Amino acid sequence: MNVDSILAHVDANLDESLERLFALLRIPSISTDPAYTADCRRAADWLVDDLATLGFAAETRDTEGHPVVLAKADGPAGKPRILLYGHYDVQPVDPLDLWQEDPFAPRIVTRPDGGKMIVARGACDDKGQLMSMVEALRAIKAVEGELPVPVTVLFEGEEESGSPSLPAFFAKSSAELRADAAFVCDTGMWDPTTPAIAMSLRGLVAHDIIVRAANRDLHSGQFGGPARNPNHVLAKILADLHDEDGSVTIPGFYEGVTEPSNAQKANWDSLGLTAADFLGPIGLSEPAGETGRTILEQVWSRPTCEVNGMSGGYTGAGFKTVIPGEARAKVSFRLVGDQDAMKLRAAFKEFVEARIPSDCSVEFIDHGAGPAFRVSETWSMLQKGAAALEEEWGKPTAMVGMGGSIPIVHSFKHELGMDTLMIGFALEDDNVHSPNEKYDLTSFHKGIRSWVRVFASL
């Protein structure tokens, strides 16, 4: 491939690329609000028509909710087939009065520092990112006459509302989706000039716990002392989940946890993140968590146990002297490495049940459970992607972890058996899910150029 000619084509045709992105941004494809159902289909149809101009056999596939865009195109024989994933749906725009302009009237805004940004709902999450992949393929085909590799495209329309229809679509269409690797564009840069590849995602296990004691709320003057207080019982159990060093005390909790390699740790250390950098903006100063672990180790490579909510007794205005009949908490675990979600769920329940007094009871309500995801440092596509990004941005690629989860990536790995290359160009200040969402023009432009280099590396 003549990469220099393709990049020159990208530069010369940036205005046309922006026109196509703006056309997609004008469609208010808000997936969670039924009032925009027709607009979600309109966005899917727009993408189908656009992909068809690149030679894709593209169609809008119905689901129980909003449609999925599925497209396939051949490429040179012997090359790996790549599955491109993105989502065309967007978040609601509320509160509308905080937007400086119409959220679905995309525009270029120049900042005081001279930098330019695309402002619109979906500019970053995920239409701008999605179109950077499509525009890279468009430029390659314009110069080379064919796509660089066989490509399958999966663009969904319910990511912002939890992808409720995707599991059924996966079950029905898994054979059509199989590829050698998936590329996901819904991630970000380390900073405005440093590209990043996400190498890992943490898994998740979540529960509600309900501890019950007396058969009703009690007068604390009459029953205080002899009657068991479920707030006390639950608070003690939750406190027992960690030791003084911040480690989780559930037996077997750390089974399957792997240490990051020395190379990973060195890469993370080179990023220069301090506790003040990480905690200062949220009004904190002293790191918690496991003693002896850096901030990035904790967020990217260590499992956690968090209490996400607690309630019991009277919590309204004023005061009411009661001993509650029940107390509740929401507890979640972030998983890493090869931790077994179902095994951990069972161990947690056993841990709690062992601490319930004989005249009390406990109920568990199970929520999501999914394993962690990571790619090997030696995966050839990871190495090629990192080298391609470094060539475009002139800086070594940050090989980062992600503290959260991207459910689709877990599905690619555990249902379709393929790894995912997670590259994106979002920035921390892009106001994702907030009023005045933006995407730097540099992120879009160099994002297209970056994807050209990544595709060429294959």
Same structural domain, 245 and 388 = no
Residues present in the chain in total: 458
DSSP code of 294? -
Q: Is residue 184 part of a domain?
A: yes
Domain-ending residue, one of 329, 352, 370: 370
Same structural domain, 253 and 364 = yes
| 3-state SS, residue 59 | strand
Q: Is residue 270 part of a domain?
A: no
- What residues have CB less than 8 Å from 140, skipping those under 6 apart? 1, 6, 147, 148, 452, 455, 456
* Under-50 pLDDT residues of the chain: none
| Adjacency order of strands within the sheet including 203-212 | 304-312, 326-335, 203-212, 361-370
| 3-state SS, residue 167 | helix
Asked if residues 388 and 136 have their Cβ atoms less than 8 Å apart, the reply is no
Q: Is residue 145 part of a domain?
A: yes
Same structural domain, 40 and 185 = yes
Same structural domain, 413 and 345 = no
List the Cα angle 429/185/2 in 5-degree steps. Answer: 115
Q: What is the pLDDT of residue 361?
A: 98
Same structural domain, 405 and 381 = yes
Domain-ending residue, one of 343, 370, 397: 370
Q: What is the pLDDT of residue 368?
A: 79
The total domain count for the chain is 2
Closest CA to 154 of 335, 412, 447, 364: 412
Q: What is the pLDDT of residue 66?
A: 98
Instruction: For residue 195, say if its preceding peptide bond is cis, omega within 30 degrees of 0.
Output: no
Q: What is the pLDDT of residue 414?
A: 85
Same structural domain, 366 and 379 = no
Residue with tokens 């406190």: 239
| 3-state SS, residue 374 | strand
Same structural domain, 136 and 243 = no
- Tell me the CATH number at 152: 3.40.630.10
Instruction: Name the burial class of residue 89, with classes exposed (0-12), middle (13-18) and buried (19+) by CB atoms within 10 angstroms of its CB.
Output: buried
Q: Write the DSSP assignment of 21-49 as a string of letters.
A: HHHHHTS--BTT-GGGHHHHHHHHHHHHH
Q: What is the pLDDT of residue 407?
A: 80
pTM score, whole prediction: 0.86
Q: Is residue 417 part of a domain?
A: yes
Q: Is residue 286 part of a domain?
A: no
Q: Is residue 288 part of a domain?
A: no
Q: What is the pLDDT of residue 388?
A: 98
Q: What is the pLDDT of residue 403?
A: 86
pLDDT in tens, 288-305: 999 999 999 999 999 999
Q: Is residue 283 part of a domain?
A: no
List the Cα angle 406/410/411 in 5-degree steps. Answer: 115
Helix axes 14-25, 127-144, angle to 10 degrees: 140
pLDDT in tens, 104-120: 999 999 999 999 999 99
- Tell me the CATH number at 250: 3.30.70.360
Residues 393-405 as b or e (16 or more Cβ within 10 Å = b): beeebbbbbbbeb
Structure-token pair, residue 242:
């960690």
Q: Is residue 146 part of a domain?
A: yes
Same structural domain, 234 and 131 = no
Q: What is the pLDDT of residue 410?
A: 86
Same structural domain, 252 and 337 = yes
- Spatial distance between the Cα atoms of 401 and 192, rounded to a whole number of angstroms: 18
Q: What is the pLDDT of residue 162?
A: 84
Q: What is the pLDDT of residue 349?
A: 98
Same structural domain, 16 and 121 = yes
- What residues have CB less than 8 Å from 184, skipping those under 6 apart? 85, 86, 406, 408, 409, 420, 421, 422, 423, 424
- Spatial distance between the Cα atoms of 112 and 121, rounded to a whole number of angstroms: 22
For 17, the domain range is 3-201+373-457
Same structural domain, 382 and 337 = no
Same structural domain, 69 and 146 = yes
Structure-token pair, residue 153:
């495209």
Domain-ending residue, one of 320, 355, 370: 370
